[in-house]
Amino acid sequence: MLEEDKKIAIDSKGIGVLYGILAYTAWGLLPLYWKLLKQITAFEILAHRIVWSFVFVVVLVLISSNWIMIKKVIHDRKKILFITINAFTITLNWGTYIWAVNAGHVLETSLGYYINPLVTVLLGMVFLKEKLNNGQKIALGLAFIGVMLMTIHYGKTPWIALILASSFGFYGLIKKIVHVDSVTGLTLETAIILPFALGFILFKQWNGLGALGNLSVFTTILLLLSGVATAIPLLWFAKSAERIELSTLGFLQYISPTITLLLGIFIFHEQFSRAHLIGFGFIWAALVIYSFSKTSFKKAQPMIINTKV
C-alpha cells in the first residue's frame, strides 16, 4: 500500500512539473502572440484581453459551479478591496507588457521577469517582515548592480523591466495575503476592470476606429482568443502549484524569461550587446545564488509553504 501511495505521489509530481513547464513555456511564447496583433494599439489589445478573459473564466465558473466561492469572496470587504487593487495592478502589468513587446522592447520584458523573484523577496521583507538569509542579501545586491549597469547602458532607468517586476511582485504579494484560487481571483479582477475595458472598446467601435470589423478574420479570431491565451497558462500554473513543491516551481519560473530573451535576440533581432550580457550576467548570478540559498534555507529550517495561486 505504501509503495502504491509513493507511486501515485511520484506520478502526481511528474504531472505537476509538466503543467509548470506548459504554463511557463506559454508565458514565454506570448510575445509571438502579441506581435501578430501589432497593427492594433496596445490599449485596445489590453481592453479585449480583459473582456475575453472575463468571458472565458465565467464559462469555467459555470462549468465548475464555483459561484459559491465567488459569493463568499464578494461579501468579504477586505478581500474585495485587495482584489480591486490587484485588478488595477495586473492591468498595469498586462498593458505595459503588450506595449513593450509591440514597441520592440522584448529584451527588457525578459529582464523584468528575471528580476521579479528578487523583487518578490524584497516586498516580502518590507511588507511581511520576512527575514533574508545571507545568500538572498547577496542576490539582491548583485541584481541591483545588474539593473544599475543596464541603466548606464540604456542612458536611462529600465522602467519597463522595473514596472513589470514590481507590478507582478505586488500582484503576488496581495495573492499571498488574500488566499483566493486563480479562477475566482481572475473572474473578480477582470469583472472589476470590465466596465472600463468594455467602454473603451464600444467607444472605439462607435467612432469607427475599433478593431472588430476592420481586420482580417484571422486577426479578429486571435483578438477574441486573447482571453483563452491569458487564462489557460494560469490554470496550468494552478494545477502545477497544487502538485509540486514551491522550490521546484521556483526553478521552472525561469523558463518564461529565457524563452522571451531568445525570442528577442533570434526572432525579433533586438540588439544584445556586451553591456546587455554583463547586466544580464549579474542578474543570472543573483538568481542562481537566490535559488540555492532558498533551497538550503528550507533544509535548515523546514516550514509549511502555502502554494495557493
**140 belongs to a structural domain:** yes
What is residue 305's predicted lDDT score, i.e. its pLDDT? 35
What is residue 181's predicted lDDT score, i.e. its pLDDT? 84
What is residue 291's predicted lDDT score, i.e. its pLDDT? 77
Q: How many residues does the chain have?
A: 309
What is residue 248's predicted lDDT score, i.e. its pLDDT? 73
Q: From the CA atom positions of the chain, what is the Rg in Å?
A: 20
Q: Return the exposure string of 62-75: e unless at least 16 CB atoms fall within 10 Å of the residue's CB, then b.
A: eeeebeebbeebee
Angle separating helix axes 226-243 and 217-224, nearest 10 degrees:
40
**Gap between the Cα atoms of 184 and 50, Å rounded:** 15
**306 belongs to a structural domain:** no
What is residue 8's predicted lDDT score, i.e. its pLDDT? 52
Question: Is the separation of the CB atoms in 112 and 164 below 8 Å?
Answer: yes
**305 belongs to a structural domain:** no
What is residue 140's predicted lDDT score, i.e. its pLDDT? 86
**164 belongs to a structural domain:** yes
**Gap between the Cα atoms of 135 and 291, Å rounded:** 9
What is residue 75's predicted lDDT score, i.e. its pLDDT? 93
- For residue 30, the tally of other CB atoms under 10 A from its CB is 20
pTM: 0.87
The range of the structural domain enclosing residue 141 comes to 11-300
What is residue 124's predicted lDDT score, i.e. its pLDDT? 84
Q: Tell me the C-alpha to C-alpha distance, in Å, between residue 242 and each of 27, 103, 235, 305.
A: 19, 36, 11, 12
208: exposed, middle or buried (Cβ count in 10 Å: 0-12, 13-18, 19+): exposed
**4 belongs to a structural domain:** no
**294 belongs to a structural domain:** yes
What is residue 301's predicted lDDT score, i.e. its pLDDT? 45
**307 belongs to a structural domain:** no
Q: Which three cell numbers stand for residue 100?
A: 513593450
What is residue 137's predicted lDDT score, i.e. its pLDDT? 86
- Output the tens digit of pLDDT for each of the chain's 309 residues: 445 454 455 567 789 889 999 999 999 999 999 999 999 999 999 999 999 999 999 998 988 877 888 999 999 999 999 999 999 999 999 999 999 999 999 999 999 999 888 888 888 888 888 787 888 889 888 988 988 888 887 778 889 999 999 999 999 889 888 888 888 999 999 999 999 999 999 999 999 989 998 889 999 999 999 999 998 998 898 888 778 876 677 778 889 999 999 999 999 999 898 888 998 999 999 888 887 776 554 544 443 333 333
**2 belongs to a structural domain:** no
What is residue 222's predicted lDDT score, i.e. its pLDDT? 96
Instruction: Fill in the amino acid letter for 192.
Output: I
128: exposed, middle or buried (Cβ count in 10 Å: 0-12, 13-18, 19+): exposed
**Gap between the Cα atoms of 155 and 71, Å rounded:** 50
Query: What total of structural domains would you count in the chain?
Result: 1
Question: Is the separation of the CB atoms in 92 and 46 below 8 Å?
Answer: no
